Chain A
């Protein structure tokens, strides 16, 4: 069963075609990694999945329902997203972690906030720190924790480990795998790290120039016969 499907989806801004005729599906309860050169349209594709953008043509379904039938706020709670730039609102780390709850007029207890920080391997003492003082890697982890607070059945992760060292990166990979295992959460994960794409992903999508070049088991990055992808893999590995 697929959590999200794309049928002939194109997206253009003014006269610029950013995505062309994307057809494919993201399988329920699986981790799909999304790779491709910078500017290929990966972030754009993710934003279509949670309704931050709407396609110019084609149809998208989420949990078997046309995406337009969702109330946008419900859709975005169902399909959670960690944005590439990991933006913070001004205030403390706690203020940021509360945000998803606050938007639904609920509260997040200090204990719960501490638990989320623990999950992303940050010390509980960070809770009272001003978010603007966080290091790049800390900010990225707070951003992940904040996205997890909504406990969405589908998660979109946009390069969430790009600022992390190897150990921290492993910790986050393990956390996401655990969430996928325990809750059957569907994950779509953009990464520039091809090794990560293969070890974490059950499936992989390769995008270039606004098009979906190939989709399949993540081993395709090694076994593909597509020369463009081979060149891309060699380039990234270099």
Chain B
């Protein structure tokens, strides 16, 4: 695609801009910011990627993945400020997801060990681990707010903190995995997944595009299960003190 062609796509920005003005939606500024940011951010990533792909050393790739992990962690921890030390637990979960998925994909030579594969797949796994962690933290908080009396009941009957919070923990882990599983049930029926569409538009064989998409959605299942389980099981203890009392 030429840059002339690309600039013509600004028509798609212009239409909502005019609509926003005409209908007094007051979104003009946001539309402008969104357009400017996405352009700058994506172009920057594009240039960085070409640099990393051409670089001889793998260090740039490692740096880039590390940066993704840091940004994802800082983003997810906002939802977990009520849990002491949550930052490290989210980081641990995301790193575990990254290691497991890349370990399988590279270890069994399922994809070539080049930045062209490692970076985009890492991006998807890390981004998803972040979203799942946020989903888990929101749900866990809601479960605890709604069912604090059950936790107190189990403690009062002589249960340990782990026993007392087990149901809420399991329900929150389950709830955070469900969207991933459900979305995969209807995948491809209406909307083609973004990565697959991109490959097909880019001229790849549809079957090969499907194979890669399957690889990704299977990996996303692991991603969801591992990240919510790790965040959950490493963090619930901080809700209790050493006298096995629930913090207020």
Residues of A within 8 A of B (CB): 13, 50-54, 68, 72-74, 76-77, 80-81, 83, 85, 87, 89, 99-100, 103-104, 146-147, 150
15 A-B pairs with C-beta separation under 8 A: A13-B248, A52-B152, A52-B155, A72-B243, A72-B244, A73-B160, A76-B155, A77-B158, A87-B149, A87-B150, A89-B167, A100-B157, A103-B154, A103-B163, A147-B157
Q: Is the CB of A73 within 8 A of B153?
A: no
Q: Size range of the interface on B? A: 10 to 19
CA distance A148 to B159 in the complex (A): 15
CA distance A147 to B244 in the complex (A): 19
How many interface contacts (CB-CB < 8 Å) are there between A and B? 59
Return A142 CB to nearest CB of chain B, in Å: 12
Q: Is the CB of B152 within 8 A of A83?
A: yes
Name the 3 nearest CB pairs between A and B, nearest first.
A72-B244, A77-B158, A87-B149
**Who on chain B is nearest to A152 by CB?**
B158
Which residues on A sit within 8 Å (CB–CB) of B160? Answer: 73, 103
Return A228 CB to nearest CB of chain B, in Å: 30
Query: 0/1 per residue, B182-209, Cβ < 8 Å to A?
Result: 0000000000000000000000000000
Whether a CB of chain A sits under 8 angstroms from the CB of B245 is: yes
B156, B158, B159, B163: the one within 8 Å of A83 (CB): B156
Q: Is the CB of B156 within 8 A of A76?
A: yes
**Within B141-189, which residues are at the interface with A (CB < 8 Å)?**
149-150, 152-160, 163, 167
Q: Is the CB of A103 within 8 A of B159?
A: yes
Query: 0/1 per residue, B56-86, Cβ < 8 Å to A?
Result: 0000000000000000000000000000000
